[in-house]
């Protein structure tokens, strides 16, 4: 069965510091991988997606993620955190296209 | 604006009452989904549909029913609400493996 694990339910970084949010997947075949962001009292917005093209994927708001098959990982990074990046981030995986499996989320706090 | 619209945005029910949540999309997407979001548990799939007239169970379908009579609409029903169904419900739609479009959510409290 495929699943996705997000390491760290809460991450705090200082403004201007590197953001690193971790995601590992469990699947016998590389799936499609996604990162979503959720701001308070809002729905989820797509940040970026991996669909078997380039392994380094660039998304919106300066975020990027690298697909590493050997590590079954798809970690999300941003070189310099902004206050506006404070939100909940979800990693998601899909293989069939009919069902997406979401991680439990990582809450990012940015300290001024 | 094109997207996914959920109604209502907030609702309080008494235990045993019934209600229907409506999801409407205007992007001509084939797939539609209902998720619930609970603290520390991420999003869990309740039911989904791969096309008009089709529905399928997801990870946590018990206590819910769905219908997709029109391609653009996906209804989620609670026949007899229970406090365990207190949650935030999200609808989403998609055309492929290339990501969902989510609605803004319905916050349901069952007392």
Q: What angle do CA B7, B10, B16 make, to 5 degrees?
A: 95
Question: A74: which 2 tokens?
Answer: 């798809």
| Full DSSP string of B55-71 | -EE-SS-TT-EEE-SST
Residues of A near B (Cβ–Cβ under 8 Å) read: 9, 32, 34, 36, 41-46, 49, 51, 90, 94, 97-100, 102-105
Q: What angle do CA A70, A76, A79 make, to 5 degrees?
A: 120
Q: How far apart are CA B47 and CA B61, in angstroms?
A: 6
Residue pLDDT tens, chain A, 112 long: 558 899 999 999 999 999 999 999 987 777 889 999 999 888 899 999 887 778 899 999 999 999 998 899 999 999 999 999 999 999 998 877 667 889 999 999 999 9
Give me the percent of chain B exceeding a pLDDT of 70: 95
With cut-offs at 50, 70 and 90, classify the pLDDT of residue B75: very high
With cut-offs at 50, 70 and 90, classify the pLDDT of residue B80: very high
Among B4, B42, B97, the residue with its CB nearest the CB of A94 is: B97
| B105 lies within 8 A of chain A by CB | yes
> CB–CB of B97 and A32 under 8 A?
yes
CA distance B24 to chain A (A): 15
Residue scoring higher pLDDT (B99 or A112): A112
| B97 lies within 8 A of chain A by CB | yes
Question: B59: which 2 tokens?
Answer: 């990870």
Condensed to tens digits (0 to 9), the pLDDT of residues B19-59 reads: 999 999 999 999 999 999 998 888 999 999 999 999 999 98
Of the listed ranges A62-71, B61-70, B95-104, the least confidently predicted one is: B95-104
Among B33, B58, B99, the residue with its CB nearest the CB of A46 is: B99
Question: B69: which 2 tokens?
Answer: 């009579």
**Per-residue model confidence (pLDDT) at position A1:** 52
Contact by Cβ (8 Å): B73, B17 = no
Between the alpha carbon of residue A32 and those of residues A91, B62, B91, the distances in Å are: 11, 28, 20
| B21 lies within 8 A of chain A by CB | no
> CB–CB of B31 and A32 under 8 A?
no
The residue assigned the tokens 């029903």 is B77
Q: How far apart are CA A38 and CA B111, in angstroms?
A: 27
CA distance B47 to chain A (A): 10
Average per-residue pLDDT in chain B? 93
């Amino acid at each position: 069965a495929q699943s996705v694990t997000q390491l760290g339910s809460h991450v705090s970084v200082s403004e201007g510091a590197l953001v690193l949010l971790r995601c590992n997947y469990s699947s016998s075949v590389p799936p499609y991988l996604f990162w979503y962001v959720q701001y308070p009292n809002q729905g989820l917005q797509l940040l970026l997606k991996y669909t078997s093209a380039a392994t380094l994927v660039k998304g919106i708001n300066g975020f990027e993620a690298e697909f590493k098959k050997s590590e079954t990982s798809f970690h999300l990074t941003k070189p310099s955190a902004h206050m506006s990046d404070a939100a909940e981030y979800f990693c998601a995986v899909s293989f069939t296209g009919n069902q997406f499996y979401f991680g439990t989320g990582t809450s990012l706090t940015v300290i001024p | 604006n094109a997207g996914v619209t959920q109604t209502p945005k907030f609702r309080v029910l008494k235990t045993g009452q019934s209600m229907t949540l409506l999801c409407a999309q205007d992007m001509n997407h084939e797939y539609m989904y209902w998720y619930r979001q609970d603290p520390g548990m991420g999003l869990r799939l309740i039911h989904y549909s791969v096309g008009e007239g089709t529905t399928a169970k997801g990870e946590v379908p018990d206590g819910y029913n769905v219908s997709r009579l029109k391609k653009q609409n996906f209804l989620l029903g609670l026949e007899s609400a229970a406090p365990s169904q207190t949650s935030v419900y999200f609808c989403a739609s998609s055309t492929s493996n290339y990501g969902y479009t989510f609605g803004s959510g319905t916050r349901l409290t069952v007392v």
